[in-house]
Amino acid sequence: MIQLDEQKKMILETVRTIAQKELKPRAAEIDEKGEFPWYAVKVFAENGILAPLLPEKYGGIGAEYLLFSMIIEEIAKVCANSALILIAQADGFLPVLYSGNEEQKSRFLPPLANGSLSGFAATEPGAGSDILSMRTRATRKGDNYVLNGQKCFITNGSIADLLSVYAYTDPEKRAKGMSLFVVEKGTPGLTYGKNENKMGMRGSINSELIFENLELPPGNRIGEEGDGFPNMMKVLDSSRMFAASQAVGLAQGAIDEAVSYAKQRIQFGKPIAELQAIQFMIADMVAATEAARLLTYQAARHLDQQRKKEISKTCAMAKLIASDTAMRVTTDAVQVMGGYGYMKDFPVERMMRDAKLIQIYTGTNQIMRLVAARGILGD
């Protein structure tokens, strides 16, 4: 049992109210239209939860990772797209929070608590799981840098006000030659390709970014040259825990729908909830989700306690177990509801489509197994 103080309980209760009253009624519309939910950004900003991990001096609430995990979970129960707004926002600002100097943090971070959006730009057409194959380059021009290259599948890409962009400053050094830069919306040389048309998470914007002779001052480089790769790995560890939290929430939302339906649906003269076949399915769904939740909370605790030897391994395991669970649970929820579950009149078909992406982003689950194995065998 997780013990929360009164302030954290109050924050979570506020989040639940927002989720049920503001987000759930419009979740199907977001999916159907494939439009970014700007109203959700407004609601999050007005309630101080658009960037809760930020310290108070930068406009956040200084939330612990465990509390943020619970916030994501509550929102994902009703709308995975809206939960992804908070995840993408954190992914975009954590590179600066982790490695920026005080001047950079004070300059870049406060707007992100008040409605501006951020994005994490690493993936490229030829550099997904093999991120060291990145081709984006930042070359010196006097004191400035000139950025050239392309990114793809970037969450919030074409709508982000601030992008944390990874590029090689010395490609021959591979991991030790990668650096991190902040690119602000409207910078000359930044253009956008297509926004992707996705199977699920259709209310999230995923864009191509194109950098053509984009010039940046040295103040937009975060950390020293060559610091980009360790910064990226640290951010990805956190992001995997966020993805696990989203998956747990999504699974729980599907369970809630399936249980409610099973109690009301009459077949053979009684609710299908009284049929052993349905009972066994639901028991398995709940057991798997509870296990994924506890592993996710454990990963969040390791992040809060900065237990460096445990973080990468546990975040990877939480992400792979939780997302595999969400995929299985949402699929089973469709099965419990039969023909109705397959229809867009009920949310479980949307949840099933949304769950698939979590098995892929922030590192595929096959890569997560490699990360976990290295952590285990490395010990």
Low-confidence ranges of the chain (pLDDT < 70): 1, 379
Catalytic residue among 91, 237, 332, 354: 91
Helix locations, the chain, DSSP H: 6-18, 27-33, 38-46, 65-76, 80-99, 102-108, 228-264, 276-305, 308-336, 338-341, 348-358, 365-378
- Is 147 a member of any domain? yes
Domain final residue pick, 182, 207, 225: 225
Query: Is the domain of 250 the same as that of 144?
Result: no
- Is 129 a member of any domain? yes
Query: Is the domain of 128 the same as that of 75?
Result: no
Residue 224, token pair as written in the block:
């020293």
- Is 366 a member of any domain? yes
Q: Residue 341 belongs to a domain with what CATH number?
A: 1.20.140.10
Report the domain count for the chain.
Answer: 3
Query: Is the domain of 218 the same as that of 236?
Result: no
Q: What's residue 379's pLDDT?
A: 58
Query: Is the domain of 212 the same as that of 85?
Result: no
Closest CA to 149 of 119, 123, 128: 123
Query: Is the domain of 132 the same as that of 257?
Result: no
Q: Residue 172 belongs to a domain with what CATH number?
A: 2.40.110.10
- Is 244 a member of any domain? yes
Q: What's residue 182's pLDDT?
A: 98
- Is 1 a member of any domain? no
Q: Residue 26 belongs to a domain with what CATH number?
A: 1.10.540.10
* Pairing mode of beta strands 178-184, 162-168: antiparallel
Residue with tokens 């494939």: 34
Query: Is the domain of 103 the same as that of 129?
Result: no
- Is 87 a member of any domain? yes
Query: Is the domain of 257 the same as that of 355?
Result: yes
Domain final residue pick, 113, 144, 169: 113
Say whether 284 is catalytic. Answer: no
Domain with 49, as residue range(s), is 6-113
Residue 228's Cβ-count burial label (10 Å; 0-12, 13-18, 19+) is: buried
Alpha carbon distance 49, 10 (integer Å): 13
| Residue 166 backbone phi and psi in degrees, to 5 | -100, 135
- Is 82 a member of any domain? yes
With vertex at residue 323, the alpha carbon angle to CA 20 and CA 39, rounded to the nearest 5 degrees, is 30
Query: Is the domain of 159 the same as that of 243?
Result: no
Query: Is the domain of 141 the same as that of 209?
Result: yes
Q: What's residue 1's pLDDT?
A: 64
Query: Is the domain of 15 the same as that of 100?
Result: yes
Domain final residue pick, 113, 134, 153: 113
Query: Is the domain of 141 the same as that of 153?
Result: yes
Cβ–Cβ contacts within 10 Å for residue 26, how many?
18
Query: Is the domain of 55 the same as that of 176?
Result: no
